Amino acid sequence: MSLEKFTVWRRTMEKRNSTALKRRMEGRWLSAFLALAPALETAVNKLGQNVPCPVDGGTDGFRLFRDANTTGGGVKQAWRVIPEGIDMLMWVNDWSFTKTYDELEAFLGGRIVDAKPIRTPKTQIQDDSKLRLWLNQIWGGALPLNDLRSYPARAYFERRSLRTAAMLADDLRFHPSLNYVGADGQTLGQYGAILGLVRNNAGEPVSIHRTFITKSGLKVEFSDGKNKSRKLTPAVNKESRGRQIRVNPVKGTVMGVAEGLETALAVTLMTQLPVWPTLSTTMMQSFLPPEWVEKVLIFVDKDRNQAGEVAANTLAEKLSLLGLDVQLILPSIPMLESDSKGVDWADQLKRDPSGFSQIGNLLRDRPRQTA
């Protein structure tokens, strides 16, 4: 924090009781970070672990403390400890104390908050024209899923009982050969990839989601577990809100939203409801449906760290304030010891398809889709 900002902060302290606010925020900091500071999502999902700095990028220069839900604290390596949540939001979002205080009050009061767009780290600034050219080349070199050369993608979805839904989906393609760049920036090989065209809330293409697979349709995995490639490419039009793959057209007034692509395809397969994946908990919270939609069903991931439920509840509150009818629906299957992260509706399809019957009651009286 600069000296000027620190001085303003001190003067404002007399008007706003930060001590009382911090007391009210105990146990709610992680929810607030997901709602207000999307750049902290990785750190929230990996409490106590080193992750890329939300401001400067890199590989492992930052972490939230394990008690961050109580304190909001963390540390930026080689700089300083950030002991509490107000300071954290001021730093990550480049907000004044007043702005931070007021947004936290809005969060606690269930009012619409200002989710700060993720800042492009200083070390990762992209030239937008070159990025657009690269994205267009990737998408232009991809094949429809019904092309004979797209067999690996069909095999991938077949293993997950999602082939029918994937073949009917929009904005999904297969690229036969893309560079797999690991977390350290090194190219580890060339693999096929299932591509999803990512759009913002206005429907404009901004990015591409990639799932790298082998020629037999298996997800590319490395034994050390440290070389996972980033699925989402850098985005153009970064300041625009919302990220989703519009896998099915929404022609009526009812639609669904989910976090993952396979979750969305599973629900659509079993219910014929158009469901769009938002690809992360942070991007779920910034989602807005098309203007003609009146009812949104949120298909919630049941995570061990409850990140999916936090994101779904935040989105539900926002959409309800806009006058939409919102329903949250969690999978009925229990989490097993082998479910390291949790379970979702794609898991529901594999283990107990009868669990989709609960959705039928919510859809029975929905308006017909228009032609």
CATH number of the structural domain spanning residue 281: 3.40.1360.10
Q: Are residues 352 and 288 in the same domain?
A: yes
Write out the H or E segment, with its range, that includes residue 346.
Answer: helix 345-351
Q: Are residues 267 and 352 in the same domain?
A: yes
Does residue 248 form part of some domain?
Answer: no
* Ramachandran bin of 82, using left for φ above 0, alpha for ψ from -120 to 50, beta for the remaining angles: beta
Q: Are residues 135 and 109 in the same domain?
A: no
Q: Are residues 147 and 195 in the same domain?
A: yes
Longest dimension (CA), the chain: 69
Which structural domain, as residue segments, surrounds residue 63? Answer: 3-122
Per-10-residue mean pLDDT, the chain, length 371: 50 66 91 89 89 82 90 84 90 89 87 61 58 93 96 97 96 95 82 96 94 94 69 86 94 95 96 94 89 95 86 90 93 87 92 88 58 42
| pTM as predicted | 0.69
- Angle in degrees, 0-180, between the axes of helices 85-93 and 97-108, rounded to the nearest 10: 110
369, 252 contact by CB (below 8 A): yes
Does residue 233 form part of some domain?
Answer: no
Q: Are strands 302-303 and 342-343 parallel, antiparallel or unpaired?
A: antiparallel
Kindly compute the dihedral angle of the four CA atoms of residues 63, 207, 241, 74, in this order, to the nearest 10 degrees: 0
Amino acid at 257: V
Q: Are residues 95 and 133 in the same domain?
A: no
Copy the structure tokens of residue 319. Answer: 């959409």
Does residue 224 form part of some domain?
Answer: no
Q: Are residues 84 and 96 in the same domain?
A: yes
- The CA distance from 338 to 335, in Å, is 8
Q: Are residues 117 and 131 in the same domain?
A: no
Q: Which residue from 25, 24, 29, 37 is spatially nearest to 281, judged by alpha carbons?
A: 37
Does residue 176 form part of some domain?
Answer: yes
Compute CA distances 293 → 94, 224, 249, 254, 317, whole Å. 34, 45, 12, 6, 16
Phi, psi at residue 294, to the nearest 5°? -115, -25
pLDDT tens figures, 18-69: 888 999 999 999 989 988 898 898 899 888 888 888 888 777 789 999 999 9
Q: Are residues 49 and 137 in the same domain?
A: no
Does residue 369 form part of some domain?
Answer: no
How large is the C-alpha radius of gyration of the chain?
Answer: 21
- Strand runs labelled E in the chain: 51-53, 57-64, 74-76, 80-82, 172-181, 187-199, 205-213, 254-258, 275-277, 295-299, 302-303, 325-329, 342-343
Indicate the residue among 103, 122, 141 that finishes a domain. 122
Does residue 358 form part of some domain?
Answer: yes
Number of domains present in the structure of the chain: 3
- The CA distance from 30 to 21, in Å, is 15
Compute CA distances 166 → 91, 263, 349, 354, whole Å. 42, 12, 15, 21
Q: Which residue from 322, 325, 165, 359 is spatially nearest to 245, judged by alpha carbons?
A: 165
Q: Are residues 148 and 167 in the same domain?
A: yes
pLDDT tens figures, 114-145: 666 555 544 444 457 889 999 999 999 999 99
